[in-house]
Amino acid sequence: MTEQNRVLLIVSGGIAACKCPELIRLLKRRGFEVRCILTRGGARFITPMTLAALSGDKVYEDLFSLTDESEMGHIRLTRQAGLVLVAPATANIMARMANGIADDLATTALLAAKVPIMAAPAMNVAMWEHPATRDNIETLKRRGVRLVGPTEGEMACGEWGMGRMAEPPDIAEAVEDLLLGGGGKMSAMKKLKGRRALVTSGPTLEAIDPVRYIANRSSGKQGHAIAAAIAGQGADTTLVSGPTRQPDPERVKVVHVETAVEMLAACERELPVDIAVCAAAVSDWRAAKPSAQKIKKTGKKSTASLALIENPDILGSLCAAGERRPRLVVGFAAETEKVIENAAAKRKAKGCDWIVANDVSKGSGVSGVMGADTNTVHLITSDGAESWPEMTKTEVGLKLALRIADALEFET
Ligand code: C5P
């Protein structure tokens, strides 16, 4: 994870703070990590617990908390982000920013920030139009603070006018433009523009009868994070996913399927693509003859047996697609022992370019690793194995997307 993908969100005290959950969700779906500072006023509108649950990180509130200062000083908070976003930005916090006042954690961090600052103002129309606010806005703009919004509309107080906070999708778009789009001097170009990518994710469900099925514990978190990160780098991305609880990532075409056979057909329809990442936990078998009716107990204490047949290997089929083979095919391997050795053998056997081996022994059992937010992986290529430290699945997605971009750039 680079600073470019980290946003430090300062939530100050306005009714628009209730839009922050949506904003955090949208930023995360675009592949950003979000860490929050909540002002005392902000905490009257939204709880730290809500922000912590959505951002997946501790929420920072108190400048003088000794543990916060020892674990993460206010200087480091801003150094580890690519952008500080103040949303909502009240008239009060902008006045303090404009005047260099640092009397709480939020304004101290803002004064210490060397990275770009973006503010989404939100206030009553009279406050927005007040000469004091106008002056403060001019000062902040002159110093390079980017503003997104406000917009015109009905205010929480019932009045109509300028001062509504910009909508979360517009703020998320502005953040992405600043951090990843062309233009600003802090920005990096999107590295996969013009490429087409296909990602598989989640488990497959294989019917035994109309009510029962064979499935597995895959959460889809890793596959979805990879699709979001690849799309975040500008690739035209399709995610073919089995049933999961993950929201559809932003700017990704999502094809929902149930079975391995459906997943293979959906993948084949997407060809040709430049990149294929098979992160789905495809069921190896399906019922040979799914019953049209619910299978009844016999009443006798007998054992039952189920005939299974092998499912198609989607990764293998993509690798063997001849002229339609994606230029870079990446598979996954969940291993519990001899991780690198087994994954390297799988890379050869499947005929894919890279294997991401996730070490499922480094957790509390297979189900724990499969549903967890972090992953410990090794990237196996023809050059050997590279071990990545434990990171969030979002970070793994971003790192992999950047590695893919580098590999394709090198090739052409
Ligand atoms: O063969 P195994 O299941 O260990 O291989 C894992 C890799 O193969 C993953 O990338 C998975 O998405 C892919 N796979 C597949 N179709 C299958 C089985 C596995 O695409 N039927």
Distance 331 CA to ligand 1 centre (A): 7
Distance from Cα 315 to the centre of ligand 1, integer Å: 6
User: With bands split at pLDDT 50, 70 and 90, how would you rate the model's confidence at 189?
Assistant: low
Contact 142, 135 (CB under 8 A): no
Which tens digit of pLDDT belongs to each residue from 353-366?
A: 999 998 777 554 44
Q: Which of 239, 244, 332, 400 to mutate to test the pocket of ligand 1 (most atoms within 8 A of CB)?
A: 332
pTM of the model: 0.66
| Joined tokens for residue 233 | 């780098």
Average pLDDT over residues 69-97: 86
Residue 64, pLDDT score: 67
> pLDDT: is 66 or 259 the higher one?
259
Give the CB-side neighbour count of residue 234, counting CA atoms within 13 A.
Answer: 14
Q: Give me ligand 1 centre to Cα 314, in Å.
A: 7
Q: What percent of the chain has pLDDT over 70?
A: 92
Q: What percent of the chain has pLDDT over 90?
A: 68
Grade residue 2 by pLDDT with cuts at 50, 70 and 90.
low
What does the pLDDT look like over 212-261, one tens digit per residue? 999 999 999 999 999 999 998 889 999 999 999 999 998 899 999 999 99
Q: What is the pLDDT of residue 378?
A: 94
Please spell the DSSP secondary structure of 315-358, one letter per residue.
Answer: HHHHHT-GGG--SEEEEEEEESSSHHHHHHHHHHHHT-SEEEEE
In the predicted model, what is the mean pLDDT of the chain?
89
Is the bond leading into 389 cis (omega within 30 degrees of zero)?
no
Strands 213-214 and 206-207: antiparallel
Q: What is the mean pLDDT of residues 331-338?
A: 92
Distance CA 253, CA 273 (A): 14
* 353, 356, 357, 363 alpha-carbon torsion, rounded to 10°: -170
Mean pLDDT of 33-51: 96
Residue 186 scores a pLDDT above 60 = no
pLDDT at 84: 96
| pLDDT one-digit tens code per residue, 299-319 | 777 778 999 999 999 999 999
315 lines ligand 1 (CB under 6 A): yes
The 3-class SS string of 65-130 reads CHHHHHHCCHHHHHHCCCEEEEEEECHHHHHHHHCCCCCCHHHHHHHHCCCCEEEEECCCHHHHHC
Q: Is the CB of 332 under 6 A from ligand 1?
A: yes
- Where does residue 71 fall: left (phi above 0), alpha (psi -120 to 50 degrees), or beta otherwise? alpha
Q: Would the CB of 311 count as within 6 Å of ligand 1?
A: yes
- How many other CB atoms sit within 10 Å of the CB of residue 412? 6
Model confidence over 140-158: pLDDT tens digits? 999 899 999 999 877 777 7
Verify whether ligand 1 is closer than 6 Å to residue 240 (CB atom).
no
pLDDT at 154: 75
Residue 72's pLDDT band (cuts 50, 70, 90): low
Q: Is the pLDDT of residue 195 over 90?
A: yes
Which amino acid, 60? Answer: Y
State the catalytic residues: 157
The pLDDT of 53-70, averaged and rounded, is: 77
The continuous run of DSSP H or E covering 309 comes out as strand 308-310
- The finding on whether 260 has its CB within 6 A of some atom of ligand 1 is yes
Closest-CA residue to 86 (of 9, 177, 146): 9
Residue-by-residue DSSP string for 155-221 = -TTS-EEEEEPPPHHHHHHHHHHHHTSSSSTT----TTTT-EEEEEESB--EESSSS-EE-----SH
